[in-house]
């Protein structure tokens, strides 16, 4: 309990890492866990786990997110690309990027998804986020629609900000430790499969996968490989019906995520879970796994990671564990970030 809240959501861990905690279960990715991850780097082979950041191409997966735009900067009124300086031999290039931070391979910050919950016992549900941080006070949106999106009249400063729970907190902590691969694609193929608790446990038992507190759970479904094979011309119907997704409505699965002590979850699909989720009772979240992880328990989610080459190597070599290094951008006040994760085996 803090000045921000007197009641925490059922099944949440608010306050367990301190009244002002902003990194959630990344607290479990400690020095000992980093050493365990380093112990898995036996062969010295590295895998880049990021898609090219202009994939998937188009906006079929999410119409609000657009591919990145790269442009040169200006130098004294001229294009600062292949530019020369008077009396010098240098040829200079400098550029900028307009990036939707969660377009491609990404981390969700803990302020990406909150919930409507009566955290003060007032009888009224408020917009709140992990550990009771509040919309309007800590997670601040602009008042004008003109201050959202990309347009020709954009202000030269940020118009939204997360003064708490921003992605920079995870970056400052550092995300490095032991990743554990669960290869769903090897068992379910490339057709859409809704994976519940029993199915996940069956896969882990069949492959001898063990998860310990502080590990990062990494789920290979093959979805990012399907995206790559479409060469930035995605077939929307195919993508919306491709590969395994977790069943975010499965209460036993959510409880296992709590009990396992995993520090974070990353997957190569869009949203980790089925989106939209299967119907629930009454008024409920459309993203129940996001609600359980980000809002209730401070478990960061990674999406659209490129995992197939790593998963294939691990399976061929009878392994499931590896060193994962995946810091987000240290971009203050952002609710998500591109990431170029590196796995070392």
Q: Tell me the pLDDT of the chain averaged across its residues.
A: 95
Whether the per-residue pLDDT at 61 is higher than 90: the answer is no
pLDDT of residue 1: 60
**Is there a single domain that holds both residue 85 and residue 186?**
no
80: exposed, middle or buried (Cβ count in 10 Å: 0-12, 13-18, 19+): middle
Instruction: Read off the pLDDT band of 288 (50, 70, 90).
Output: very high
**Is there a single domain that holds both residue 77 and residue 183?**
no
pLDDT digits (tens, 9 = 90+) for 123-134: 999 999 999 999
| Residue 2 maps to a domain | no
**Is there a single domain that holds both residue 175 and residue 93?**
no
**Is there a single domain that holds both residue 182 and residue 273?**
yes
The shares of helix, strand and coil residues in the chain, as percent rounded to the nearest 5, are: 25, 25, 55
| Residue 15 maps to a domain | no
**Is there a single domain that holds both residue 108 and residue 188?**
yes
Q: In this structure, are strands 264-267 and 300-303 parallel, antiparallel, or unpaired?
A: parallel
**Is there a single domain that holds both residue 91 and residue 172?**
no
| Residue 283 maps to a domain | yes
**Is there a single domain that holds both residue 224 and residue 173?**
yes
Domain count of the chain?
2
pLDDT digits (tens, 9 = 90+) for 248-265: 999 999 999 999 999 999
pLDDT of residue 56: 95
78: exposed, middle or buried (Cβ count in 10 Å: 0-12, 13-18, 19+): exposed
**Is there a single domain that holds both residue 329 and residue 201?**
yes
* Mean pLDDT along residues 64-88: 94
| Residue 216 maps to a domain | yes
| Residue 275 maps to a domain | yes
**Is there a single domain that holds both residue 40 and residue 181?**
yes
Q: Return the half-sphere exposure (C-beta side, CA atoms, 13 A cut-off) of residue 91.
A: 1
Domain that holds residue 76: 69-98
| Residue 303 maps to a domain | yes
**Is there a single domain that holds both residue 216 and residue 189?**
yes
| Residue 17 maps to a domain | no
Tell me how far apart the alpha carbons of residues 78 and 72 are, in angstroms, rounded to a whole number.
10
| Residue 87 maps to a domain | yes
What's the N-to-C CA distance of the chain in angstroms? 42
Whether the per-residue pLDDT at 300 is higher than 90: the answer is yes
**Is there a single domain that holds both residue 49 and residue 189?**
yes
Q: Is cis: bond before 280, omega within 30 of 0?
A: no
CATH code for the domain of 313 = 3.50.30.50
**Is there a single domain that holds both residue 269 and residue 192?**
yes
Helices (H) and strands (E) in the chain, counts: 10, 21
């Amino acid at each position: 309990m803090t000045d921000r809240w007197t009641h925490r959501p059922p099944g949440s861990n608010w306050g367990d890492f301190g009244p002002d905690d902003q990194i959630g279960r990344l607290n479990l990715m400690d020095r000992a866990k980093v050493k365990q991850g380093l112990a898995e780097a036996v062969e010295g082979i590295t895998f880049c786990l990021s898609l090219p950041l202009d994939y998937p191409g188009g906006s079929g997966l999410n119409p609000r997110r657009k591919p990145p735009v790269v442009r040169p900067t200006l130098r004294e009124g001229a294009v600062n690309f292949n530019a020369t300086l008077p009396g010098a031999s240098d040829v200079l290039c400098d550029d900028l990027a307009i990036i939707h931070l969660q377009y491609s391979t990404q981390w969700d910050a803990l302020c990406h998804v909150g919930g409507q919950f009566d955290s003060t016992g007032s009888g009224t549900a408020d917009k709140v986020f992990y550990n009771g941080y509040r919309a309007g006070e800590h997670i601040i949106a602009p008042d004008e629609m003109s201050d959202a999106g990309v347009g020709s009249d954009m202000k030269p400063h940020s118009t939204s900000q997360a003064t708490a729970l921003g992605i920079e907190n995870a970056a400052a902590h550092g995300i490095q430790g032991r990743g554990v691969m669960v290869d769903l694609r090897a068992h379910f193929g490339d057709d859409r499969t809704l994976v519940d608790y029993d199915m996940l446990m069956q896969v882990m038992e069949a492959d001898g996968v063990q998860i310990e507190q502080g590990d990062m759970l990494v789920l290979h479904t093959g979805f990012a490989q399907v995206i790559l094979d479409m060469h930035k011309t995605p077939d929307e119907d195919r993508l919306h019906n491709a590969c395994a997704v977790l069943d975010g409505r499965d209460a036993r699965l959510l409880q296992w995520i709590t009990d396992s002590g995993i520090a974070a979850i990353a997957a190569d699909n869009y949203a980790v879970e089925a989106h939209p989720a299967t119907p629930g009772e009454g008024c409920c979240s459309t993203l129940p796994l996001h609600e359980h992880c980000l809002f209730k328990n401070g478990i960061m989610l990674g999406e659209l990671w490129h995992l197939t080459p790593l998963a294939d190597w691990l399976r061929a070599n009878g392994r499931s564990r590896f060193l994962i290094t995946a810091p987000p951008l240290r971009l203050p006040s952002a609710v998500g970030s591109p990431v170029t994760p590196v796995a070392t085996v």
